[in-house]
Amino acid sequence: MFSFYNRGSTLLNFLCTVLPVLLALLACTSPFLLNQADPKVKINVRNVHMKRYSSSSTPSNKKESTMMKLYRYHYPYRYPPKGDIALIDFDINADLTSVFNWNVKELFVYLVYEFETPKQKFNQVVVWDDIITSKQDAHIKGKNVESEYLVTALDNKLRGISGNLTLYWDIIPNTGLLFQKSKGSITVPLQKEQ
Amino acid sequence: MLQPLLDNLFSGKSPREIAHQILNIFMIVTSAFMSWKALALITNSESPIVVVLSESMEPAFQRGDLLFLTLPRQEPFIVGDIVVYKIKGQEIPIVHRILKIHKNEEDGEDYILTKGDNNNIDDRALYNKDQLWIKKSDIIGKVKGYLPYIGYVTIVMSDYPKLKYLLLGVLTILMFFEKEEK
């Protein structure tokens, strides 16, 4: 009466019913738990380095040579065009410990510079990012951190532009929906003249 | 030649029952196809469910994880969105995160640059030669939901095509031999 096939089939059926229900319940708790989170974010800009790049320009210090290297990596198949590039040094103190709950697999934390140019009303560039996979590492502290990515514009003109620096984090769940949150916006003007 | 085969598959069944069984099989196939297309319509994405094939987004997404995509017309793209895009002339869609975005007023286009979380440099090396940006038309969808591991089955199947045909064969045979409850 209870053959091996019967037992196997029942077990598999049970698994295929219970597992999705459990996963769905887990996914449903996420928005509520995330609402209760109270992250604290403090960002402070130390320095904004600007450089007008051209193929003949030579770096005058270590920072400029880093910037030029980053800019060249940005154009893998050709010489980079003439243009303004900027690199931001900043302090960060972000306590995202409370964001972690049982349905958080990873936080992708990124610092975004958002600005407006005459021809492009909406520009966003990530200047720095960090991957956090455990609650213990979720308090990010850094002094005078050098950003990983350059600020660039579509038409390569950045002079006199002012924008906002904001910390965003993308919440990747164990299962369910992905969420994006942000906090701690500050205004950062770029230089007019060099 | 066909008669013995039919007798074997449907022994002791009337032509009406045989027709019913064949129609049932068609029903399963067409309803699967219809739900896929309906999902594509609802999400506005040509391929609303994709399986992660590369390690470039680790530790967020591993090979074999299942992603659910949407592409609402009104919703703008912003930096940090994980998008699935396909470069013109390339077969395999790529799941990466938006690193830079410039919305140009003149042509109404979004100029988007992407990067894999696990890669050291941005995706310009993956784009076509002399292509600096991807545009809205290259994007298949935005990742909205995540389910781990399930998609690994399809990776195994595409790695071992014989297994796929074996499984399809067994399933078809099982469907034919399905006993109807009376």
Extents of the domains making up chain B: 1-43, 49-152
Among chain A residues, CA nearest to B148 = A175
- Phi and psi torsions of A141, nearest 5°: -130, 135
- Over residues B34-53, the mean pLDDT reads 95
Single out the residue of A97, A193, A86, A167 nearest to residue A139, CA to CA: A97
Lowest mean pLDDT, pick from A55-64, B12-21, B110-119, B125-134:
B12-21
Residues 20-59 of A with CB under 8 A from B: 23
Question: Which of B81, B99, B146 shows the shortest C-beta gap to A149?
Answer: B99
Say if the Cβ atoms of A125 and B144 lie within 8 Å.
no
Strands A40-53 and A122-132, how do they pair? unpaired
* Residues contacting residue B94 through CB under 8 Å, at least 6 positions apart: B54, B56, B84, B85, B86, B87, B114, B123, B126
Assigned architecture for domain B49-152:
Ribbon (2.10)
**Chain A: nearest CA to B4, how far in angstroms?**
30
Say if the Cβ atoms of A76 and B145 lie within 8 Å.
no
Say if the Cβ atoms of A106 and B59 lie within 8 Å.
yes
**Chain B: nearest CA to A68, how far in angstroms?**
15
Give yes or no for residue B181 having a pLDDT over 60: no
Count the Cβ atoms, other than its own, within 10 Å of residue B166.
Answer: 12
Chain A residues lying within 8 Å of B143, measured CB to CB: 178
DSSP string, A70-137: HHHHT-TTSPPPSEEEEEEEEEEEEE-GGG--TT--EEEEEEEEEE--SS-SEEEEEEEEEEE-SGGG
Q: Give the C-alpha separation, A174 to B146, whole Å.
A: 8
- Over residues B26-55, the mean pLDDT reads 94
pTM for the complete prediction? 0.88
Question: Which of B103, B104, B117 shows the shortest C-beta gap to A108?
Answer: B117
Q: Which helix (H) or strand (E) holds B146?
A: strand B139-147
Say if the Cβ atoms of A177 and B144 lie within 8 Å.
yes
Q: Which residues of B are catalytic?
A: 56, 96, 123
Q: Give the C-alpha separation, B85 to B77, whole Å.
A: 13
- Phi and psi torsions of B104, nearest 5°: -90, 130
Count the Cβ atoms, other than its own, within 10 Å of residue A2.
Answer: 7
Give yes or no for residue B176 having a pLDDT over 80: no
pLDDT of residue B182: 44
Say if the Cβ atoms of B60 and A172 lie within 8 Å.
yes
Average pLDDT over chain B reads 89
Question: Which of B79, B146, B148 shows the shortest C-beta gap to A112?
Answer: B79
A54, A39 Cβ separation under 8 angstroms: no
Q: Which helix (H) or strand (E) holds A13?
A: helix A4-36
Give yes or no for residue B49 having a pLDDT over 70: yes
pLDDT of residue A42: 94
Substitution target in A151, A170, A183, A185 with the highest count of B β-carbons within 10 Å is: A170
- Divide the 194 residues of chain A into consecutive groups of 10 and give the mean pLDDT of each group: 83 92 94 92 93 87 92 89 94 95 95 93 95 95 94 91 94 95 88 62
Structure tokens at A148: 């990983």
pLDDT of residue B21: 83
Chain A residues lying within 8 Å of B129, measured CB to CB: 77
**Chain B: nearest CA to A193, how far in angstroms?**
24
At A114, the amino acid letter reads: E
**Chain A: nearest CA to B135, how far in angstroms?**
13
Q: Give the C-alpha separation, A17 to A66, whole Å.
A: 55
Say if the Cβ atoms of A77 and B104 lie within 8 Å.
no
**Chain A: nearest CA to B15, how far in angstroms?**
31
Say if the Cβ atoms of A75 and B124 lie within 8 Å.
yes
Say if the Cβ atoms of A120 and B101 lie within 8 Å.
no
A169, A181 Cβ separation under 8 angstroms: yes
Alpha-helical segments (H) within chain B: 2-9, 15-43, 152-159, 161-176
Question: Which of A78, A120, A133 shows the shortest C-beta gap to B102?
Answer: A120
Question: Which of B82, B111, B147 shows the shortest C-beta gap to A175?
Answer: B147
Q: How confident is the model at residue B179 (pLDDT cuts 50, 70, 90)?
A: low
